[in-house]
Amino acid sequence: MANMAQAVRMALHYGEKHLGVTDIFGEDVGPPLGGVFTCTQGLKTTWNTPLDERGIVGAAIGLALAGQKPVAEIQFCDYIFNTIDLLKLAGNNNWASNGQYPLNITVMTPAGAGIHGSIYHSHSFDSWASRLTGWKVVMPSTPRDAYGLMLSAIEDPNPVLVMIPKALMRVKGEELIPGEPLEEKDLKERIDAPLGEARKGWEPRWPELEFAPTPIGEAKIVRPGNSATVVTYSRHVFLAMKVADKLAAEGLGEVEVIDLRTIYPYDWAAISRSVVKTGRVLFLNEDTEITNFGEHLLRRTIEEHYYQLRARPRLLAGAHVPGIGLAPPLEEASVPQEHDIERELRALLTELT
Amino acid sequence: MSETSRVPAQPFKDKNFCLSYFRHMVRARALEERLIKMMRTGDGYFWIGGPGEEAFSVALGLQARKGHGVAYDFLHLHYRSNPVVLTMGAPMIDFLRQMKSTALDPFSGGRNFVAHISKKEWNVVPVTSTIETQYAVAPGTAMAQRRARLKGEPAGVTVVVGGDAGTAEGDFASSLIWSTRPGAELPILLIVTNNKFGISTPAESQHGEKNIADRARAFGISAQVVDGNTPEKIWAALETAFDTIRTTGKPYFLEVMVSRLHGHSSSSGAQRTLDEPCCIDAFEKKLLKNAWITEKEIEELKQAAHLEAQEAHDQIKGEPYPEASTFQDHTFADGKRGGVPGRDF
């Protein structure tokens, strides 16, 4: 099975071969490296940029204004902060021109903690991104969804931000991407650039991939249940499922886990249905907790489902700290861990109504 | 088709050309004066513009190749660029509609400040209030044009315009870097109209460089500092710049020295200042000296421009604001209106 970096690479290949992608660019995106996470190895339209994130987002806007179809990468979302007014401009361009200038832009960026990335390689951007009006914002948790959401982002006529969990870049999927070779080794030999001298003159042998988009705006119930709901995304999907399995084995109930997949426009219908069913809900993500995106979902839950709740709804998010410390105990104290999720879910499941 | 195709070989020795140029300048000034008046009489909340830059703006408006797509010039303008687009042929009334934020404002549908032009049919991309971001965006359109050039397809050039104070932003440095990547130089005309002020702050109190153009020269970009108050000079400089870029595909830089005759915006009162030279007065003297026009004809020309502006103003007085229900329209290009999912969608 492909890992997430390979999945993104295959989606970009499909994009430049079949969907009209003209430019895939960013810092170290082109040869020889093909991206710091190898997401852009072996592609035809890649090129390296100056070390200038504002220039990267600006160039993406300009290319789209001229009718091109760019995919830009910000090397780590930790570096995206100085582009915020350009991201805002990209988001309001069509609206401010009264519909004259839609921008078909995809920006992709690795996000989140979990790779011992210290202060500037561990940031989350999901809560910030939820405020970028005019953008669609997605965050896959599996290689299959990374492939599908990248295709949807490329096809979408609007600016779309694709955040890829850093910690899951090398994690293999459990679902085959349509067209992906059955053998991992085969895929690796076909599309992973060799190291050292062998890379010179290397050409990938792309598999015949299929157009298999994951719709933007559709959540996925990754673990059905009736006892409580966890609404999460990105790498916390797996932590939530693990804890849910453990609690189920203890007989505490079946927790439904929703992988939101899209931050905006988020799938309220899916959340709403599950909350009405279980009456107990935990919102879970790793961005800092003050004005966290999960707080917005919590507010809507209270406003719209107050009388259907059977227990106090909860948010578990990252601590409001200036950064993620490098030493493991510091990182673990800063972003939700398995034991934190377990503590919250135990309380949620056992709270008397 | 470029307006320059109708330009005589020695334009400033040609009476008809000069009179036409003068008329463009006068109309542009009359437009700005009407907009200021609208702001003062409650037909607009805010005025910002560039009276004093007409000699430059008319030249740019006449020399730009207008049309849609990479075959034509892309214009990344700023809030002092009304006269450029007026000269290109936009109806005067359109600017007044944006001033009054009426539903018929063709640039932004009543959403944006005056002088925030957006006109896709002529590659005028949306003017933004964020100072200097246009310099980070412009290399993108120039890249698309470079790509067309390399394929042997028709390709225009990209023009980006901003003021002197904005060059302190990093986006200005971005434009220099991105325009001169070795082997990937861009067909882009970088213009800074230097009025020596950032709102109230004199440039000399903040900038140590002698000329902004020197910063472009450091990147190997051909650059000129040019008198923007004299039509002959700015016309020739722009012509050289456009010719060079169209021939070589490489960037060119112009620092255009201009006057600022009504301050920065209505926030500083927009009063007429008399201590800076006026390009229209100077050109008028030349026309009179050549006996190409009489005092009376000048007066008639100015009256006609003011009348055009006044009639446009009268015409839009009854025009409504956009409907409140449209406030989310065009948030997304696929018909989605934005807002809260499941509630507003």
Answer whether B108 sits within 8 Å of A97, measured CB to CB: yes
Read off the pLDDT of residues A155-170 as tens digits, 9 standing for 90 and up.
Answer: 999 999 999 999 999 9
Instruction: Domains for chain B: give ranges and CATH numbers.
Output: 14-319 (3.40.50.970)
Q: Which residues of B touch A55 (CB under 8 A)?
A: 136, 139, 174, 177-178
The answer to whether A236 is a known catalytic residue is no
Structure tokens that stand for A224 in this block:
């059905």
Query: According to the model, what pLDDT value does residue A172 have?
Result: 95
Answer whether B130 sits within 8 Å of A89, measured CB to CB: yes
Answer whether A96 sits within 8 Å of B116, measured CB to CB: yes
| Per-residue pLDDT band at A269 (split at 50, 70, 90) | very high
Q: Between 3.40.50.300, 3.40.50.720, 2.60.200.30, 3.40.50.970, what CATH number should domain A4-199 receive?
A: 3.40.50.970
Answer whether B70 sits within 8 Å of A55, measured CB to CB: no
Mean pLDDT within A318-324:
96
Considering only the beta carbons, identify the residue of A58, A133, A156 that sits closest to B137: A58
Mean pLDDT within B242-268:
94
Angstrom distance (rounded) from CA A125 to CA A136: 13
Query: In this structure, how many other beta carbons lie within 10 angstroms of the beta carbon of residue B274?
Result: 7
A265 pLDDT above the threshold of 90? yes
Average pLDDT, chain A: 97
Is B144 an interface residue toward A (CB < 8 Å)? yes
| Per-residue pLDDT band at B2 (split at 50, 70, 90) | very low
At A208, the amino acid letter reads E
A352 pLDDT above the threshold of 90? no
B270 pLDDT above the threshold of 90? no
B267 pLDDT above the threshold of 90? no
Handedness of CA B125, B131, B135, B136 (dihedral sign): negative
Q: Domain residues of chain A, as ranges?
A: 4-199, 220-350
B1 pLDDT above the threshold of 50? no
Query: According to the model, what pLDDT value does residue B345 have?
Result: 61
Mean pLDDT within B189-215:
95
Query: According to the model, what pLDDT value does residue B274 have?
Result: 83
Q: Which residues of A touch B170 (CB under 8 A)?
A: 54
Q: Give which of B339, B165, B141 is closest to B264, Cα–Cα.
A: B165
Q: Give which of A125, A146, A24 is closest to A82, Cα–Cα.
A: A125
At residue A4, the 3 state secondary structure works out as helix
Average pLDDT, chain B: 95
Angstrom distance (rounded) from CA B55 to CA B233: 9
Mean pLDDT within A290-296:
98
* HEC readout, chain B: CCHHHHCCCCHHHCHHHHHHHHHHHHHHHHHHHHHHHHHHCCCCCCCECCCCCHHHHHHHHHHCCCCCCCCCCEEECCCCCHHHHHHHCCCHHHHHHHHCCCCCCCCCCCCCCCCCCCEHHHCECCCCCCCCHHHHHHHHHHHHHHHHHHCCCCCCCEEEEEECHHHHCHHHHHHHHHHCCCCCCCCEEEEEEECCEECCEEHHHCCCCCCCHHHHHCCCCEEEEEECCCHHHHHHHHHHHHHHHHHHCCCEEEEEECCCCCCCEHHHCCCCCCCCCCHHHHHHHHHHHCCCCCHHHHHHHHHHHHHHHHHHHHHHCCCCCCCHHHCCCCCCCCCCCCCCCCCCC
Residue of B73, B105, B108, B137 to mutate for A, most A C-beta atoms under 10 A: B137
User: Hey, do A4-199 and A220-350 end up sharing a CATH topology, with the first three levels equal?
Assistant: yes
Read off the pLDDT of residues A299-317 as tens digits, 9 standing for 90 and up.
Answer: 999 999 999 999 999 999 9
The answer, yes or no, to whether the previous bond of A50 is cis (omega within 30 of 0) is no
Angle at B20 between CA B18 and CA B25, to 5 degrees: 95
B5 pLDDT above the threshold of 70? no
Mean pLDDT within A93-118:
97
Read off the pLDDT of residues A186-218 as tens digits, 9 standing for 90 and up.
Answer: 999 999 999 999 999 999 999 999 999 999 999
Residue of A65, A69, A92, A218 to mutate for B, most B C-beta atoms under 10 A: A65
Residues 6+ apart with CB under 8 A from A71: A12, A15, A21, A23, A24, A25, A106, A107, A108, A154
Answer whether A267 sits within 8 Å of B341, measured CB to CB: yes
A259 pLDDT above the threshold of 70? yes
Answer whether A52 sits within 8 Å of B177, measured CB to CB: yes
B4 pLDDT above the threshold of 80? no
Q: Which residue of A has its CA nearest to B335?
A: A99
Structure tokens that stand for B316 in this block:
């839009």
Hey, what CATH topology would domain A220-350 get? Rossmann fold (3.40.50)
Angle at B98 between CA B94 and CA B104, to 5 degrees: 65
| Per-residue pLDDT band at A171 (split at 50, 70, 90) | very high
Query: According to the model, what pLDDT value does residue B6 have?
Result: 75
Of A13, A16, A27, A121, which one is the catalytic site residue?
Answer: A121
ipTM of the shown complex: 0.96
Report pTM.
0.97
Mean pLDDT within B126-151:
98
Q: Which residues of B touch A27 (CB under 8 A)?
A: none
Mean pLDDT within B49-75:
97
Q: Which residues of B touch A102 (CB under 8 A)?
A: 333
Mean pLDDT within A13-18:
98
Structure tokens that stand for A56 in this block:
């990267």
Answer whether B108 sits within 8 Å of A86, measured CB to CB: no
Q: Which residues of A touch B329 (CB under 8 A)?
A: 95, 98-99
The answer to whether A203 is a known catalytic residue is no
